[in-house]
């Protein structure tokens, strides 16, 4: 690799991080009028959303363990954390749908745990969501319609143009499998912990398998999609 190529690759990585953190201007949405980094950010969401979704769970676990496994205090702490995140999202002028869906998800998890009296049930909605995503993404690949391709297509204003290019079809299928694997790994690890009632390890693994695993899948997807777009642009 030449010094020029290395510099270009480092610049691309910087752009990817900048866009997913929300610091870059989006494209116009016209076909082809967006960088690969912007397409990935729009298709799978930014780092802020991933981090925001991890905070209430981390607060719940911390308060639960520090406070002698007292469920009520942990539940209220998680709800308050979710409320703070919702307020910050409003300040960032994110859509009301994003704000509401995030807070409602935390509120429901807290309500479920308080209703059953089982702290592990705070994590049950997330586990069920991971199962749904793992199945949905896997099925979309098996039937030849990888969902990540449609996500990127929607971001560019050309929903299915990528399907005309074999290299891009394969790239989007592989990228979708990456994310399907993320959700499947989470399920495989978290379900046994949930069934055993091990709240501490369950909460820790939820964090460990949260944004770090997402970051790996996002990076691998970015690489294969970028290469496919270079090798075989849309016809």
C-alpha dihedral, 95 to 29 to 36 to 4, nearest 10°:
-120
pLDDT digits (tens, 9 = 90+) for 4-59: 444 444 444 444 444 333 443 444 434 444 455 555 555 445 556 666 778 888 99
Distance (Å, whole) CA 20 – CA 48: 8
For residue 178, the model assigns a pLDDT of 95
For residue 8, the model assigns a pLDDT of 45
Under the banding of pLDDT at 50, 70 and 90, the label for residue 151 is: confident
Under the banding of pLDDT at 50, 70 and 90, the label for residue 180 is: very high
- How distant, in Å, are the alpha carbons of 20, 109, 223 from that of 15? 8, 35, 13
**Between 211 and 106, residue with greater pLDDT:** 106
Q: Contact, 183 vs 133, CB < 8 A?
A: yes
The domain of 197 spans 3-231
Question: pTM for the whole thing?
Answer: 0.78
Weakest mean pLDDT among 33-47, 112-126, 143-157, 211-225: 33-47
For residue 96, the model assigns a pLDDT of 67
For residue 66, the model assigns a pLDDT of 92
For residue 154, the model assigns a pLDDT of 79
CA angle 125, 176, 25 (to 5 degrees): 90
pLDDT at residue 168 tops 80: yes
102 Cβ neighbours under 8 A, 6+ residues apart: 49, 52, 53, 82, 85, 86, 89
Q: Sign (positive/negative) of CA torsion 13, 14, 16, 20?
A: positive
CA angle 149, 132, 197 (to 5 degrees): 140
Weakest mean pLDDT among 61-75, 93-107, 175-189: 93-107
In what helix (H) or strand (E) does residue 230 lie, and over which residues does it extend?
A: helix 211-231
- Count Cβ atoms below 10 Å from residue 13 Cβ, excluding itself: 13
For residue 19, the model assigns a pLDDT of 38
Q: Contact, 113 vs 121, CB < 8 A?
A: yes
Number of compact structural domains in the chain: 1
């Amino acid at each position: 690799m030449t010094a020029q190529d290395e510099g270009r690759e480092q610049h691309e990585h910087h752009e990817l991080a900048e866009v997913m953190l929300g610091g870059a201007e989006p494209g116009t949405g016209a076909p082809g009028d967006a960088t690969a980094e912007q397409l990935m950010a729009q298709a799978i969401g930014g780092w802020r959303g991933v981090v925001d979704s991890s905070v209430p769970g981390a607060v719940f676990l911390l308060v639960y363990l520090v406070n002698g496994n007292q469920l009520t205090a942990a539940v209220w702490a998680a709800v308050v954390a979710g409320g703070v995140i919702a307020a910050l999202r409003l300040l960032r002028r994110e859509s009301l749908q994003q704000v509401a869906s995030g807070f409602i998800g935390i509120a429901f998890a807290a309500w479920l745990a308080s209703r059953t009296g089982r702290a592990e049930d705070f994590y049950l909605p997330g586990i069920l969501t991971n199962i749904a995503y793992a199945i949905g993404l896997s099925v979309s690949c098996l039937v030849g319609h990888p969902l990540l391709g449609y996500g990127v297509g929607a971001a560019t204003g050309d929903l299915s143009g990528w399907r005309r290019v074999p290299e891009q079809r394969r790239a989007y299928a592989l990228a979708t499998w990456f994310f399907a694997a993320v959700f499947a790994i989470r399920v495989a690890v978290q379900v046994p912990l949930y069934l055993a009632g091990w709240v501490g390890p369950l909460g820790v693994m939820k964090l460990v398998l949260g944004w770090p695993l997402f970051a790996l899948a996002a990076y691998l997807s970015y690489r294969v999609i970028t290469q496919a777009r270079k090798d075989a642009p849309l016809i």
